Amino acid sequence: MITGSIVAMATPMKAGGEIDWEALRRLVNFHLDHGTDAIVAAGTTGEPTTMSFAEHFDVIRTVVEEVNGRIPVIAGTGANNTAEAVELARYASEVGADCCLSVAPYYNKPTQEGLYQHFKAVAEASELPIILYNVPGRTCSDIYNETVFRLAELERIVGLKDATGNLERAEELIDRLEGSDFALYSGDDPTACDFMLMGGHGDISVTANVAPQSMHDLCVAATSGQREKAHQINARLAPLHTALGIESNPIPVKWALNRMGYAETGIRLPLTWLSERYHGNVGEALQLAGIDRK
């Protein structure tokens, strides 16, 4: 089971929007050097929805190559087309990823039975373990807890990234799945500390892009039940959790990475660079978290 601080890694791009492969490799090593426990390549924060298939494949392959087995790599392989999700999962297996992160199909608005059959088809076609990803605020598609419990019975479905921020739902998941090998990850940084203190196994984190060591330390404290220490670390990071959501992810985190010297000013439409009125908010949150310019 993968545990701890799992960065939902941004994809560095040049000012014109081309993927910056050299910067991508540098960013991987930044995480390897600062405590990140696993990397999600081409997840939501990595902007896969604006990538060609070839680019999506190459981001996953490049991250796997640069990590070189030192920590797990989770490939973002979700799609609202089941056949496409299957193809992405197969490719992730071919290039050596350790796991797939598969988001609930967006825009189509499937039923709960449709969600079950979609993930079942992906799992049956995949050589890799599958982590479900529930983020209804983005997808308009909510994997209900009862559907998660059904899916958890399938051999290759091994976990859930719960980005609802709803701790009551999380508590039910944790209670019902306690003692199983099914992993439960927060996908919502502001509530991740409490999620893990309730029994969650880690955090698939946006904040970890810019504060990898602190997020690692937070996850270690929270998953081992060190409540006071976890809350102390989280209090220092709380303004950053908030600031990195001030505009749509990954807009603020890409601005922060640029300020830190890890990325140029590239982002792809329909997303745009961080509005100038928010530069102070994100910059101050970085300072409060002890993060300076490179």
Residues at the binding site for pyruvate are 45, 204
Q: How far is CA 103 from CA 72, 163, 235, 287, in A?
A: 19, 11, 29, 33
Half-sphere exposure of 276 (CA within 13 A, CB side): 0
Helix axis angle, 212-223 relative to 227-243, nearest 10°? Answer: 140
Known binding-site residues equal 45, 204
Residue 106 bears catalytic tag: no
Catalytic residue among 14, 106, 120, 133: 133
Tokens read off for 114? 């449709």
Residue 185 bears catalytic tag: no
Q: How far is CA 210 from CA 123, 125, 204, 277, in A?
A: 32, 35, 13, 20
**Is residue 76 within a helix (H) or strand (E), and if so which, with residue range?**
strand 73-76
Catalytic residue among 14, 106, 144, 161: 161
274 — alpha (psi -120 to 50), left (phi > 0) or beta? beta
What number of residues does the chain have?
294
Whole-number Å distance between alpha carbons of 133 and 242: 21
By annotation, the residues acting in catalysis are: 133, 161
